[in-house]
Structure 1
Amino acid sequence: MSYRLVILGGGESGVGAALLGKQQGYDVFLSDAGYLNERYKTQLSESRVEFEEGGHTIHKILSADEVVKSPGIPEKNELIKAIRANSIPVISEIELAYRFKGDAKIIAITGSNGKSTTTSLIYHICKTAGLDCALVGNIGYSFARQVAEDPKPLYVAEISSFQLDDIKDFRADVSLLLNITEDHLDRYEYKFENYIDSKFRIILNAASNDYFIYNADDEVITNKLKQITLHTNLLPFSMNYEPNEGGYIKGNNMTLRLHDERTTWSVYDFALKGKHNQYNTMASCIAAMVMDIRKEKIRVAVTDFQSLEHRMERVATVRGVEFINDSKATNVNSTWYALESMEKPVILILGGQDKGNDYGLIEDLVKEKVKAIVCMGVDNSKIHKAFDGLVSPIIDTASAEDAVNASFHFADKGDVVLLSPACASFDLFKNYEDRGRQFKEAVKNL
């Protein structure tokens, strides 16, 4: 009998897993409680993958030999509980992709903030150096789809904690851990330790010839490292001390050290601005050195890199008011980084689906830099509670258009309207991209 693979969730990762499973000869069934994108339905049909939408047929799911779970489905979901009760193994899509990647190498990037920027920069450096590689994971194509449709000798993968939760054998040749701040605690029983453990799964299977690049200035990471034994090559990066191997920034110079090589560049050469992006750039350069990419190529790539859509993206200046789209800021720490880099008075657009946010983290920056807060969410009570009396005005809006119009009303020439919501987008929008695009559309219509 053929091996039955059930995929739960029909987004990019689920459909990618289904296509790869089918290609590898599995008996594949995909099930989604919601409704699938038409494009995905066409792809599944063309590949003769059986699927259902708008609900789950329990007996079909429980007949699985193995289940690939969408990263968005929590453990407390009743269907997952039933699968676990039946002792059916559950893996993530990146685990399935890893199984069939062949001899390809993997650079894997995780962290609470800066993942997408760092992943994109590493990919850009690799492409600049002429390497045949793919950008996969939480960004772009799913890893499984890439393996199925266009396998490469190198994958640069952005990986979330949700994807790491269900790995077994997944192993990256080079792993990067950028930072760990309180995020997604609703998925981790509101225990920060559980979330930390999840992030550290990126080196669960690290071998003696692999590399672990990590932020040595992040106390959460360094404290965790004291508690565990690792049999891999550690490459820390820091702005507080000078590691023997890895990287550091002192004054305005970044120095990288790997084996007998040493190189120093000015941070003024970096395309990405702001202290947090200096960390991201340093981590990316160390990864590139591990991949034996020539220094000249690395330098060219970090100088001409274009930052991402929805990440501190300058949209337009309207009558002297600058509009910045940072819709990708889905947690309070991301918003902290955005505010920290602001040099003009700010009208801040906040709000969305709360993930257990502690707004106390940005209180001092809000006091110092924010003139007005425009809330954009279904329930803004937590934002009011945090900032009423600290900032005036604070108003509620229920669409991107209303938020942009209200912000423009409060702004004076020389101010910045910053969309940096600190929340997930699922209450009013499909995702953070949809939120960012609606914001940009509203700015264009002013």
Structure 2
Amino acid sequence: MISRIDLRGSLPGDLRSVLPRADLDVEAALDKVRPICDDVRHRGSAAVREHTRAFDGVDRERSRVPVAEVHAALAALAAPVRDALEESIRRARLVHRDQRRTDVTTNVVPGGTVTERWIPVDRVGLYVPGGRAVYPSSVVMNVVPAQEAGVGSLAVTSPAQKEFGGLPHPTILAACALLGVEEVHAVGGAQAIAMFAYGTDECPRADLVTGPGNVYVAAAKRLLKGVIGIDSEAGPTEIAILADATADPVHVAADLISQAEHDTLAAAVLVTDAPALADAVETELKAQVARTKHSERITAALAGRQSGIVLVDDVAAGLKVVDAYAAEHLEIQTADADAVAARVRNAGAIFVGPHAPVSLGDYLAGSNHVLPTGGCACHSSGLSVQSFLRGVHVVRYDEAALADAAARVVVLADAEDLPAHGAAVRARFDWKVPS
């Protein structure tokens, strides 16, 4: 059901080349999304409508969901689901509110200051995937940090669903209503990213688009980056678990399965120095998968080249492996898990100990579940309040402070053969700045 990679004895120099990873050919998908994005650029809403009809089998005259439908979905929401979403929102607000930045002024020299101001983007488009599963949790994870950052205008989009009259899933609409979001569009795929990038008569262009999606959404983000800001090119979900002999194989197997449930390309990787644990986890996987609702999908994900059990000599070697892998989600199930987790360098989010499964982070930990995939956690962060803020330096120097810096500005300008830079300083004084 799941392959093994034995790295005991010595670790290869290029660890990433031997570790499991899904094939996600975003470059190939570019050829398919380019004409779609160009069409939306030139024909706006008409193009969005045609592509929604072609890909989702839904013909909607207008992309925007009537506000009454958004509120009706909330009114019809089952009470336990509403309660869980409200608590998810509350916890997410607690965490993301503490991420707010404050303006800082540095006195560089007497009369010379630099202030860093944090300014929210004006408008964002928030993408919530649809398809095999329903993701109201992704509404929470996108909207809460944008609101806490102070974004003035935000819109949510999610694919149109034939079974719901061409609207997004009603639970997604209900989550929008709980968060006070009334601008919702029934658009998915590359055409949704293009709609936010170029704008239509129904949807003004946005400055930034965030949220996970399929390979075509990732390709559209790559294509339109620069036209619109993006958070990341999120690929299939990933879980890596670093575990030793103290880990419970029932827990480990259940956690691997939980993420394999998302998609046949989902990655589930166990890194362990305990062969007996690996054996027990394999046994548990077979037993637990047989009992799950989505057993075919999970089996395909676990058997894919993106999943596997990696055997290492010890936890120290395991840390090198998980840092090279740079998982979207990383669980630490070892003795002294806090100390081990503190040594991790590369992960989108780290879940410490036996009582912090990734599923908790998906819904109710308070952390964000929009995270870097495909090894990008070695250089990128998950979605946060900072994703929606821009740091702008405000420079104030009085005449004396500029005069004090003038000679050195001229020297550096001449060193770069940019004499007009120095002249811009000299022009402010009726005396010559030494050159």
TM range (shorter): under 0.3
Larger helix fraction of residues: 2
Larger relative contact order (Cα-Cα within 8 Å, sequence gap ≥ 6): 2
In terms of Rg, which structure is larger?
2
TM-score normalised by the chain length of structure 2: 0.25
Larger strand fraction of residues: 1
